[in-house]
Structure 1
Amino acid sequence: MATPKPSQTQADETRSTLLRRLIFGHENLPDPDWPVDHVPRDERKNLLSISAVLLGFVFFAGTLWAGADVGAALGFAQTLTVMGVGYAILGIYVAVLCLIAARSGLTTVLLSRYTFGRVGAKWADLLLGGTQVGWFGVTIPLIAVPTAKYLGINTPTWVGALIIIWGLLHLATAYVGYDGMEKLSLVAVPALVVIGTLSIVIALQDVGGISGLFAQAGAAESTMTFGAAVTIVVGTFISGGTQAPNWARFAQNHRVGFWAGLVAFLLGNGFLFLSGTVGGVAYNVTPQGDLFEVLAAQGLATVGLIALIFNIWTTNDNAAYAFGVAGSEAFDFDRKRPFVLIGGFIGIGLALAGADGLLIPWLSTLGLYIPPLGGVIIADFLVRWRLQVPIMDHIEFTTLRVVPVGAYLLGCGAAVLTAGSVIPGVAAPQLLPGIPSLNGILVAMAALVVGHYALEATGIAPTHSISQNPQLTHR
């Protein structure tokens, strides 16, 4: 007997169900990444897993270019000193944020709800999520254009098609979530380390070994100062580092979170910066163009394309994941996938529109405004919460905590005055010495401590109401 064909209504219902599950996930299953809740203890990961994901995030071509820029300007010996100072700042800053995330099991935007209040956290959603949507669009052409060149199809039509293809692939691992990014990173990170080491070896051969490397002086015409070089080192990933809690929250405990953050942002990011430095010193020029072109110049065109694919993919899927969890917090929705898809499609649209040239200055500008947010979160969780973080169900969140908001604004002001401009590239006098991002963090932290004891601890400024016997997340 023939099986009866389903009616048109049944077919429409099936398609509708499949579409809903594609966008939101299975309605009877929770989001495996807990975008608006604490990550349960039985979902936590080990040091290898967390380190792999964070290393994949920090392995980005921009760090290579920055290393080449500093190395060519200052020479190898002085650049090593610059790296020692810069990566101590960057590594400790991110590692402490990762420790807080692992102890609480919360994303950066959910930590912001504790620090800034229910409405105050929406600024963090916009700042952190919006930045990553733009970054997603900026970086897709960095792989689409070299792929087109390598395949000999470098026309606008083919580049546009490759932008769509690569954009969707970058979305795929973020859509799956932490597990998808972990699997990709476990393949990509070792490959990138091997390729980076190979590039260093070739550069050393070309310059005459270690002694030849140290013998290379910086460019005589360079005006780069030691402080400016440290600023470049810190600036390579301090904004991205503020997003590190999105993945460090999966750590088994605070020690795993701390060491994973330190390994990724001190050793991992430092390794990539060193790769660029060796190239910049060896050839006495700053490599122009993308990572593929740099390695192609060393006779590694195919290897260079593979490196670039891994390099961009492992950074861009983290960007997509970041705007996914920011959207979840903004709308208090327990599924990240709709926001991953929406943000990703916006990013692909920006890439197709050629907006990357306009977005880069804007993203650079946000480097002044994101680090103070991390500074306020660190100070708040050390001083206000003393790392005794109550679960969200045991807190009545106030609308706006004015002390952290004020501290954040003061930190941004310090960063702007140190940079000498509200927008990088627009000339203005530098009114404060030092490193803009570091000054922003330190001023924000100091203002939070003073404001908390002067205004919140005395009952003058509003803060959250906590249950009489709150359950703590680290128990």
Structure 2
Amino acid sequence: MNAHDESPLTETPESQRKGFVPIALVLFSFTFFTGTMFAGGKIGVAFNFIDILWITAIGNFLLALYAASLGLISARSGLNTVLMGRFCFGNLGSKLSDFLLGFAELGWFAWGTATLAISLAKIIHLPEAWNMPLMVLFGLGFSVTALIGFKGLEYLSRVSIPMMFLLLLGSIYLATKEVGGWVGLNSVKPTESLTFATAITMVFGTFASGATQITNWTRMAKSSRIAVWACLVSFVIGNGLMVLAGAWMAIVYQQPDIVEVLILQGLSVAAIIMLCLNLWTIQGPTIYNVSAAACHLVRSERRKTMVLISAVLGIILAVLGMYEFLIPFLLLLGAIIPPLGGVIIADYWVRYKGKYPRLNDAVLPNFNWIGLAAYTVGAVCAYTSPWIAPIVGIAVAFTVYAVLNSLFPLKQLAMKEAVE
């Protein structure tokens, strides 16, 4: 196997393990996503500023804990989410998680590709006919860093993260000054309505699928402590800042898009830089995630080939209009993706007592019906819940798996002695 394919079907070897800074940089680049600001914008026009701070803090803290829980397991085991799926769903049943996670990340990739093409065309006043060629160009361009692998993502992050952070803080400062400081922010009245639970679901849902697939990088951490802290810091600060910034801009300008805001502030060049850097840093990890799920779905080691195939599919979705479906897509992901993580966490701690066997040393059934049943119940409960859907999905899936596993333990005994 090519070493640069980064072990898509096996445990991550020690030679590929990384320290805190490389892992955190890639996770920061993953969470610094302008799409998250749109969710923040919806929250910004529906609540007062104090409530927005609480929603952002609670939503991102819960999201960070969820990501860190999976990050810890992946660092210990060296496995990513789709490989863990073999233990809790079975050899063939794990294709469910492959499909769901691939679909989620492919949707994000299509949305980001369309967003960059459409937004850039607007900024530099290109005819609408340019949108499709730009989608093709950017979709293929985004795949370059994913083809290089972790190193490509890390090097891009070292340049993009500090620059985006400074641009974002500068824009927030100008917005706060324009609205009249803290007094002005607190005096703006909500113009729309959302329930508190829906708002937290949107915050959690912005990266529910991303947090579930954070294991593609945390499995490369040298220790579980590095993985946990990288998740906590990147999600609380990175994702939290993007949600809060979107809400902030919506309060001041009734516009959550940082690119549009920078243009309103007379910073068009900065807007173009922010747009390109931001989407490039998220699109590389996103299509990398799709390729990881695709490799496991078809049991192929050819990750780079899967990157290119996934990029083409993402471009097609972008051309077909994925740009218009962000909020419904977020709410759907908030219901159907987190229960996967709930089942994985329960399987690891309840059934395997905090230690997986080596993947090649276990005889696994084609279908683990307990895991599949737990996921189904969790996803249905999350989708129909009036409360915080992602939290409901994780909690229900975890509980159902633990209960069924205690009732039918013999049906879950699928181990053998280590293969010589």
| TM-score of the aligned structures, taking structure 2 as reference length | 0.95
CA distance in 2, matches of 1:60, 1:310: 10
Match of 1:69 in 2: 42
Of 187, 192, 217, 1:216 maps to: 187
Structure 2 CA distance for partners of 1:377 and 1:182, relative to 1, 3 Å: same
Look up the equivalent residue of 2:401 and give its one-letter code: L
What do residues 242-274 of structure 1 show as CA deviations (whole Å, max 9, x unaligned)? 111111111111001111111111111001112
Q: Is the 8 A contact 1:376 1:448 kept in 2?
A: yes
Of 388, 408, 411, 1:435 maps to: 388
Match of 2:278 in 1: 311
Match of 2:305 in 1: 338
What's the offset of the Cα at 1:400? 1.2
Look up the equivalent residue of 1:301 and give its one-letter code: S
Look up the equivalent residue of 2:155 and give its one-letter code: K
CA distance in 2, matches of 1:282, 1:194: 19
Instruction: Give ranges in structure 2 of 5+ residues lacking alignment.
Output: none
Q: Note the 1:88-167 alignment, pairs <5 A.
A: 88-156=61-129, 158-167=130-139
Look up the equivalent residue of 2:227 and give its one-letter code: G
Higher relative contact order (CA 8 A, sep 6+): 2
What's the offset of the Cα at 1:204? 1.3
In the alignment, structure 1 residue 387 sits paired with structure 2 residue 354: yes
- In the alignment of these two chains, the number of paired residues is 420
What's the offset of the Cα at 1:317? 1.3
What do residues 100-132 of structure 1 show as CA deviations (whole Å, max 9, x unaligned)? 111111111001112111011111111111222
Q: Note the 1:233-272 alignment, pairs <5 A.
A: 233-272=203-242
Match of 2:160 in 1: 188
CA distance in 1, matches of 2:287, 2:294: 11
Look up the equivalent residue of 2:414 and give its one-letter code: H
What's the offset of the Cα at 1:146? 2.0
In the alignment, structure 1 residue 322 sits paired with structure 2 residue 289: yes
CA distance in 2, matches of 1:279, 1:159: 26
What's the offset of the Cα at 1:281? 2.6
CA distance in 1, matches of 2:391, 2:318: 31
Q: Is the 8 A contact 1:120 1:405 kept in 2?
A: yes
Instruction: Give ranges in structure 1 of 5+ residues lacking alignment.
Output: 1-27, 419-432
In the alignment, structure 1 residue 401 sits paired with structure 2 residue 373: no
Q: Which has the higher helix share?
A: 2
What's the offset of the Cα at 1:216? 2.1
What's the offset of the Cα at 1:358? 6.0
What's the offset of the Cα at 1:463? 4.0
What's the offset of the Cα at 1:29? 3.4
CA distance in 2, matches of 1:74, 1:171: 38
Look up the equivalent residue of 1:228 and give its one-letter code: T
What do residues 68-88 of structure 1 show as CA deviations (whole Å, max 9, x unaligned)? 221222111111112222122
What do residues 4-62 of structure 1 show as CA deviations (whole Å, max 9, x unaligned)? xxxxxxxxxxxxxxxxxxxxxxxx73344111111111211111111111111111112
Q: Is the 8 A contact 1:131 1:363 kept in 2?
A: no
What do residues 198-246 of structure 1 show as CA deviations (whole Å, max 9, x unaligned)? 1111111112223433x32431x53222222222221221122111111
CA distance in 2, matches of 1:279, 1:163: 27
Match of 2:414 in 1: 464
Percent of aligned pairs sharing the same letter: 36
Structure 2 CA distance for partners of 1:121 and 1:380, relative to 1, 3 Å: same
Of structures 1 and 2, the larger Rg is shown by 1
Structure 2 CA distance for partners of 1:230 and 1:367, relative to 1, 3 Å: closer
| TM-score of the aligned structures, taking structure 1 as reference length | 0.84
Q: Is the 8 A contact 1:70 1:277 kept in 2?
A: yes
Structure 2 CA distance for partners of 1:363 and 1:269, relative to 1, 3 Å: closer
Structure 2 CA distance for partners of 1:85 and 1:361, relative to 1, 3 Å: closer
Q: Alignment RMSD, CA only?
A: 2.0
CA distance in 1, matches of 2:273, 2:413: 50
Q: Is the 8 A contact 2:71 2:218 kept in 1?
A: yes
Q: Is the 8 A contact 1:375 1:444 kept in 2?
A: yes
What's the offset of the Cα at 1:322? 1.0
CA distance in 1, matches of 2:334, 2:52: 22
Q: Is the 8 A contact 2:107 2:322 kept in 1?
A: no
Q: Is the 8 A contact 1:192 1:311 kept in 2?
A: yes
Q: Is the 8 A contact 1:407 1:445 kept in 2?
A: yes
What's the offset of the Cα at 1:65? 1.9
CA distance in 2, matches of 1:133, 1:195: 28
Of 184, 194, 201, 1:231 maps to: 201
Of 150, 172, 176, 2:144 maps to: 172
What's the offset of the Cα at 1:184? 0.9
